[in-house]
Amino acid sequence: VRMILIGPPGAGKGTQAPKIKEKFSCCHLATGDMLRSQVAKKTPLGREAKKIMDAGGLVSDDIMIGMIKEELSTNKECKGGFILDGFPRTVAQAESLDKMLAEKDQKLQHAVELQIDDALLVARITGRLVHPASGRSYHQIFNPPKKPMTDDLTGEPLIQRSDDNADALKKRLVTYHAQTVPVVGYYKDTGIWKSIDASQEPGQVWNSLLKIFGENN
Ligand code: AP5
Ligand code: ZN
Protein backbone atom coordinates (compact mmCIF):
# COMPACT_ATOMS: atom_id res chain seq x y z
CA VAL A 1 0.00 0.00 0.00
CA ARG A 2 1.12 3.61 -0.49
CA MET A 3 -0.63 5.92 1.94
CA ILE A 4 -0.39 8.85 4.34
CA LEU A 5 -2.06 9.52 7.70
CA ILE A 6 -2.84 13.13 8.53
CA GLY A 7 -4.09 14.26 11.92
CA PRO A 8 -3.33 16.53 14.87
CA PRO A 9 -1.03 15.59 17.75
CA GLY A 10 -2.65 12.68 19.60
CA ALA A 11 -5.06 11.77 16.80
CA GLY A 12 -3.68 8.21 16.76
CA LYS A 13 -1.30 8.16 13.77
CA GLY A 14 1.42 6.35 15.72
CA THR A 15 -1.15 3.96 17.23
CA GLN A 16 -2.70 2.85 13.92
CA ALA A 17 0.34 2.98 11.61
CA PRO A 18 2.11 -0.11 13.05
CA LYS A 19 -1.04 -2.15 12.41
CA ILE A 20 -1.10 -1.01 8.79
CA LYS A 21 2.58 -1.88 8.48
CA GLU A 22 1.89 -5.36 9.80
CA LYS A 23 -1.09 -5.88 7.53
CA PHE A 24 0.65 -4.85 4.31
CA SER A 25 4.29 -5.64 5.17
CA CYS A 26 5.25 -2.12 4.16
CA CYS A 27 7.44 0.45 5.91
CA HIS A 28 6.14 2.85 8.55
CA LEU A 29 7.97 6.17 8.23
CA ALA A 30 7.25 8.47 11.16
CA THR A 31 9.11 11.74 10.69
CA GLY A 32 8.71 12.65 14.38
CA ASP A 33 10.36 9.35 15.38
CA MET A 34 13.19 9.96 12.89
CA LEU A 35 13.79 13.41 14.37
CA ARG A 36 13.68 12.06 17.94
CA SER A 37 16.33 9.50 17.04
CA GLN A 38 18.56 12.37 15.83
CA VAL A 39 17.86 14.17 19.11
CA ALA A 40 18.83 11.06 21.11
CA LYS A 41 22.09 10.78 19.13
CA LYS A 42 22.77 14.50 19.73
CA THR A 43 23.60 15.10 16.06
CA PRO A 44 23.71 18.74 14.85
CA LEU A 45 20.29 18.24 13.24
CA GLY A 46 19.01 16.67 16.47
CA ARG A 47 20.12 19.64 18.56
CA GLU A 48 18.42 22.06 16.20
CA ALA A 49 15.28 19.92 15.86
CA LYS A 50 14.81 19.53 19.62
CA LYS A 51 14.40 23.29 20.07
CA ILE A 52 11.86 23.46 17.26
CA MET A 53 9.90 20.39 18.42
CA ASP A 54 9.71 21.53 22.04
CA ALA A 55 8.41 24.89 20.82
CA GLY A 56 5.75 23.18 18.69
CA GLY A 57 7.13 24.47 15.38
CA LEU A 58 8.08 22.64 12.18
CA VAL A 59 11.51 21.57 11.00
CA SER A 60 12.31 22.97 7.53
CA ASP A 61 10.66 21.46 4.46
CA ASP A 62 14.02 20.83 2.77
CA ILE A 63 15.29 18.72 5.65
CA MET A 64 12.08 16.71 5.99
CA ILE A 65 11.70 16.12 2.25
CA GLY A 66 15.33 14.97 2.08
CA MET A 67 14.74 12.51 4.93
CA ILE A 68 11.68 10.95 3.34
CA LYS A 69 13.27 10.75 -0.08
CA GLU A 70 16.30 8.97 1.38
CA GLU A 71 14.19 6.48 3.38
CA LEU A 72 11.85 5.68 0.51
CA SER A 73 14.77 4.85 -1.75
CA THR A 74 17.02 3.00 0.73
CA ASN A 75 14.75 1.34 3.32
CA LYS A 76 14.14 -2.20 2.10
CA GLU A 77 10.83 -2.46 3.94
CA CYS A 78 9.50 0.28 1.67
CA LYS A 79 9.65 -2.07 -1.31
CA GLY A 80 6.29 -3.38 -0.08
CA GLY A 81 4.84 0.12 0.02
CA PHE A 82 4.75 2.72 2.77
CA ILE A 83 2.66 4.38 5.41
CA LEU A 84 3.77 7.93 6.17
CA ASP A 85 2.98 9.25 9.67
CA GLY A 86 3.63 12.95 10.23
CA PHE A 87 4.53 13.68 6.59
CA PRO A 88 3.48 15.64 4.54
CA ARG A 89 2.79 18.37 7.06
CA THR A 90 2.88 21.35 4.70
CA VAL A 91 1.57 21.84 1.16
CA ALA A 92 5.19 22.10 -0.06
CA GLN A 93 5.89 18.65 1.43
CA ALA A 94 2.76 17.24 -0.24
CA GLU A 95 3.83 18.61 -3.63
CA SER A 96 7.32 17.15 -3.21
CA LEU A 97 5.90 13.76 -2.30
CA ASP A 98 3.80 13.70 -5.47
CA LYS A 99 6.90 14.59 -7.49
CA MET A 100 9.03 11.95 -5.79
CA LEU A 101 6.44 9.28 -6.55
CA ALA A 102 5.86 10.43 -10.12
CA GLU A 103 9.58 9.95 -10.77
CA LYS A 104 9.07 6.28 -9.93
CA ASP A 105 5.77 6.08 -11.85
CA GLN A 106 3.92 5.71 -8.58
CA LYS A 107 0.95 7.41 -7.00
CA LEU A 108 -0.50 7.64 -3.51
CA GLN A 109 -3.46 5.32 -2.97
CA HIS A 110 -4.92 6.68 0.28
CA ALA A 111 -4.68 10.02 2.08
CA VAL A 112 -6.48 9.44 5.37
CA GLU A 113 -7.39 12.20 7.80
CA LEU A 114 -7.81 11.23 11.46
CA GLN A 115 -10.40 13.82 12.40
CA ILE A 116 -10.84 14.76 16.08
CA ASP A 117 -11.69 17.81 18.19
CA ASP A 118 -8.75 19.60 19.79
CA ALA A 119 -10.44 19.37 23.21
CA LEU A 120 -10.00 15.58 23.30
CA LEU A 121 -6.28 15.73 22.65
CA VAL A 122 -4.96 17.12 25.95
CA ALA A 123 -5.78 13.95 27.90
CA ARG A 124 -4.31 11.75 25.18
CA ILE A 125 -1.06 13.70 24.94
CA THR A 126 -0.42 14.28 28.64
CA GLY A 127 -1.02 10.58 29.45
CA ARG A 128 1.12 9.16 26.64
CA LEU A 129 4.13 6.95 27.35
CA VAL A 130 6.51 5.95 24.56
CA HIS A 131 9.14 3.30 23.90
CA PRO A 132 11.77 5.44 22.16
CA ALA A 133 13.57 2.68 20.23
CA SER A 134 10.44 1.36 18.46
CA GLY A 135 8.17 4.42 18.60
CA ARG A 136 5.44 2.28 20.25
CA SER A 137 3.11 4.37 22.35
CA TYR A 138 0.92 3.59 25.34
CA HIS A 139 -1.39 5.64 27.51
CA GLN A 140 -1.51 5.71 31.29
CA ILE A 141 -5.29 5.26 31.24
CA PHE A 142 -6.49 4.47 27.68
CA ASN A 143 -3.83 1.89 26.80
CA PRO A 144 -1.68 1.01 29.82
CA PRO A 145 1.41 -1.21 29.45
CA LYS A 146 1.27 -4.60 31.18
CA LYS A 147 3.91 -3.52 33.71
CA PRO A 148 4.06 0.14 34.76
CA MET A 149 6.48 2.25 32.67
CA THR A 150 7.72 -0.84 30.80
CA ASP A 151 7.46 -1.73 27.09
CA ASP A 152 5.39 -4.92 26.65
CA LEU A 153 7.62 -6.39 23.95
CA THR A 154 11.16 -5.53 25.03
CA GLY A 155 10.80 -4.91 28.78
CA GLU A 156 12.64 -1.61 28.26
CA PRO A 157 11.59 1.57 30.11
CA LEU A 158 8.94 3.93 28.74
CA ILE A 159 9.41 7.69 28.76
CA GLN A 160 7.31 10.81 28.34
CA ARG A 161 8.11 12.95 25.26
CA SER A 162 9.53 16.39 26.09
CA ASP A 163 6.86 18.02 23.88
CA ASP A 164 3.99 16.15 25.59
CA ASN A 165 2.86 18.86 27.97
CA ALA A 166 -0.19 21.13 27.79
CA ASP A 167 1.85 24.20 26.81
CA ALA A 168 3.74 22.66 23.92
CA LEU A 169 0.54 20.92 22.77
CA LYS A 170 -1.20 24.28 22.42
CA LYS A 171 1.57 25.45 20.10
CA ARG A 172 1.58 22.19 18.14
CA LEU A 173 -2.16 22.61 17.56
CA VAL A 174 -1.73 26.18 16.35
CA THR A 175 0.93 24.91 13.92
CA TYR A 176 -1.35 22.05 12.83
CA HIS A 177 -4.25 24.35 11.98
CA ALA A 178 -2.03 26.88 10.19
CA GLN A 179 0.28 24.57 8.23
CA THR A 180 -1.21 21.09 8.03
CA VAL A 181 -4.95 21.63 7.65
CA PRO A 182 -4.17 23.13 4.20
CA VAL A 183 -2.66 19.73 3.32
CA VAL A 184 -6.14 18.24 3.85
CA GLY A 185 -7.34 20.79 1.30
CA TYR A 186 -4.60 19.67 -1.08
CA TYR A 187 -5.94 16.09 -1.12
CA LYS A 188 -9.64 16.74 -0.56
CA ASP A 189 -10.57 17.01 -4.21
CA THR A 190 -8.61 13.93 -5.22
CA GLY A 191 -10.26 10.53 -5.23
CA ILE A 192 -7.84 9.21 -2.61
CA TRP A 193 -8.90 11.40 0.32
CA LYS A 194 -10.90 9.88 3.20
CA SER A 195 -11.73 11.13 6.68
CA ILE A 196 -12.17 8.93 9.77
CA ASP A 197 -13.66 9.78 13.17
CA ALA A 198 -10.54 9.46 15.33
CA SER A 199 -12.42 10.06 18.61
CA GLN A 200 -13.63 6.47 18.53
CA GLU A 201 -11.78 3.83 20.52
CA PRO A 202 -8.66 2.44 18.80
CA GLY A 203 -10.35 -0.77 17.61
CA GLN A 204 -13.14 1.24 15.96
CA VAL A 205 -10.63 3.52 14.26
CA TRP A 206 -8.92 0.39 12.95
CA ASN A 207 -12.24 -0.90 11.61
CA SER A 208 -12.77 2.40 9.80
CA LEU A 209 -9.33 1.98 8.22
CA LEU A 210 -10.16 -1.56 7.12
CA LYS A 211 -13.26 -0.20 5.38
CA ILE A 212 -11.06 2.19 3.44
CA PHE A 213 -8.91 -0.77 2.41
CA GLY A 214 -12.08 -2.39 1.17
CA GLU A 215 -12.67 -4.84 4.00
CA ASN A 216 -15.48 -4.99 6.46
CA ASN A 217 -13.93 -6.57 9.53
P1 AP5 B 1 5.21 13.85 15.59
O2 AP5 B 1 5.99 12.87 16.34
O3 AP5 B 1 4.68 13.50 14.25
O4 AP5 B 1 4.06 14.39 16.56
P5 AP5 B 1 2.54 14.85 16.31
O6 AP5 B 1 2.13 15.09 14.93
O7 AP5 B 1 2.35 15.95 17.26
O8 AP5 B 1 1.75 13.58 16.60
P9 AP5 B 1 1.79 12.69 17.88
O10 AP5 B 1 2.89 11.69 17.76
O11 AP5 B 1 1.75 13.53 19.10
O12 AP5 B 1 0.34 12.00 17.76
P13 AP5 B 1 -0.13 10.63 17.14
O14 AP5 B 1 -1.21 10.96 16.19
O15 AP5 B 1 1.00 9.79 16.63
O16 AP5 B 1 -0.77 9.98 18.45
P17 AP5 B 1 -0.57 8.55 19.12
O18 AP5 B 1 -1.05 7.48 18.22
O19 AP5 B 1 0.80 8.41 19.68
O20 AP5 B 1 6.08 15.16 15.39
C21 AP5 B 1 6.76 15.78 16.46
C22 AP5 B 1 7.43 17.07 16.00
O23 AP5 B 1 8.42 16.78 15.01
C24 AP5 B 1 6.52 18.09 15.32
O25 AP5 B 1 5.86 18.90 16.27
C26 AP5 B 1 7.52 18.86 14.45
O27 AP5 B 1 8.24 19.80 15.23
C28 AP5 B 1 8.49 17.79 14.01
N29 AP5 B 1 8.07 17.18 12.71
C30 AP5 B 1 7.64 15.90 12.51
N31 AP5 B 1 7.34 15.69 11.22
C32 AP5 B 1 7.60 16.85 10.57
C33 AP5 B 1 7.45 17.27 9.21
N34 AP5 B 1 7.00 16.43 8.26
N35 AP5 B 1 7.78 18.55 8.90
C36 AP5 B 1 8.23 19.39 9.85
N37 AP5 B 1 8.39 19.09 11.15
C38 AP5 B 1 8.07 17.81 11.51
O39 AP5 B 1 -1.63 8.68 20.30
C40 AP5 B 1 -1.47 9.65 21.34
C41 AP5 B 1 -1.91 9.06 22.68
O42 AP5 B 1 -3.32 8.77 22.65
C43 AP5 B 1 -1.22 7.75 23.04
O44 AP5 B 1 -1.01 7.72 24.43
C45 AP5 B 1 -2.25 6.67 22.61
O46 AP5 B 1 -2.14 5.50 23.41
C47 AP5 B 1 -3.57 7.39 22.82
N48 AP5 B 1 -4.59 7.00 21.83
C49 AP5 B 1 -4.39 6.79 20.50
N50 AP5 B 1 -5.56 6.51 19.88
C51 AP5 B 1 -6.52 6.56 20.85
C52 AP5 B 1 -7.94 6.36 20.84
N53 AP5 B 1 -8.58 6.05 19.66
N54 AP5 B 1 -8.61 6.50 22.00
C55 AP5 B 1 -7.94 6.81 23.16
N56 AP5 B 1 -6.61 7.00 23.23
C57 AP5 B 1 -5.90 6.88 22.09
ZN1 ZN C 1 3.08 10.04 16.55
- Cα 208 to Cα 217: distance, rounded to the nearest angstrom: 9
- Model confidence at 134, pLDDT cuts 50, 70, 90, reads confident
Which residues sit with their C-beta closer than 6 Å to ligand 1?
Answer: 7, 9-15, 31-32, 35, 52-53, 56-59, 64, 86-87, 89, 93, 124, 127-128, 137-139, 142-143, 172, 201-202, 205
Per-residue pLDDT reduced to its tens digit, 17-62: 999 999 999 999 999 999 999 999 999 999 999 999 999 999 999 9
Dihedral pair phi/psi, residue 67, rounded to 5°: -60, -45
pTM: 0.96
- Please report the ipTM that was assigned to this predicted complex: 0.98
The residue to mutate among 38, 142, 161, 173, having the most atoms of ligand 1 within 8 angstroms of its beta carbon, is: 142
Examine the residue annotation and report whether 124 is marked as an active-site residue of this protein.
Answer: no
